[in-house]
Amino acid sequence: MAALCIALAAPVLADPSTPPAALAYTQLRDPAQEATAKALMETLRCLVCQGQSIADSDASLAGDMRSLVRERIAKGENPASIRAWLIQRYGDYVTYDPPLSAVTWPLWLAPIVLLAVGALLARQSFRRRPR
């Protein structure tokens, strides 16, 4: 019975009790800096939601990452260096455009291989049809 109560209470315990980061839901005062931060945030994947960018996600980790991006942009840091730091910290998965490496080459080559296989199957199918 105690295990059932703990299992039912797990979602409540998963809610973070800390307040969101300072710039998680607050835009920068400079519109150009905010546009730069927003553009960068749209290219970074939420590690919790996995299908959303950190700009669109409501997860607390995404809020922390948005705040971090805004803080660094406000300090004048280059978006490329912020992106590189996040990739170094969280891995290539944090970006929607992973670099070509030994780990990611199947992701880059799979569409080409599938198109080639589809073209070969279509060619064989058209050859077999009687005229």
Cβ-contact 47, 94 below 8 angstroms: yes
On average, the pLDDT of the chain sits at 85
What does DSSP assign to residue 16? -
Q: What pLDDT sits at residue 68?
A: 95
Residues 79, 45, 43, 22: is their CA dihedral positive or negative? negative
Name the band, by pLDDT with cuts 50, 70 and 90, for residue 4.
Answer: low
Residue 57, token pair as written in the block: 């996600």
Q: Does residue 13 fall inside a structural domain?
A: no
Q: What pLDDT sits at residue 102?
A: 81
**Same domain as 62, residue 116:** no
Name the band, by pLDDT with cuts 50, 70 and 90, for residue 9.
Answer: low
Residue 14: pLDDT over 60: no
Residue 29, token pair as written in the block: 């005062």
The C-alpha atoms of residue 105 and residue 28 are separated, in whole angstroms, by 37
Number of domains composing the chain: 2
Q: Which residue has the higher pLDDT, 20 or 45?
A: 45
Residue with tokens 């990452």: 65
Say whether pTM exceeds 0.85: no
**Same domain as 34, residue 84:** yes
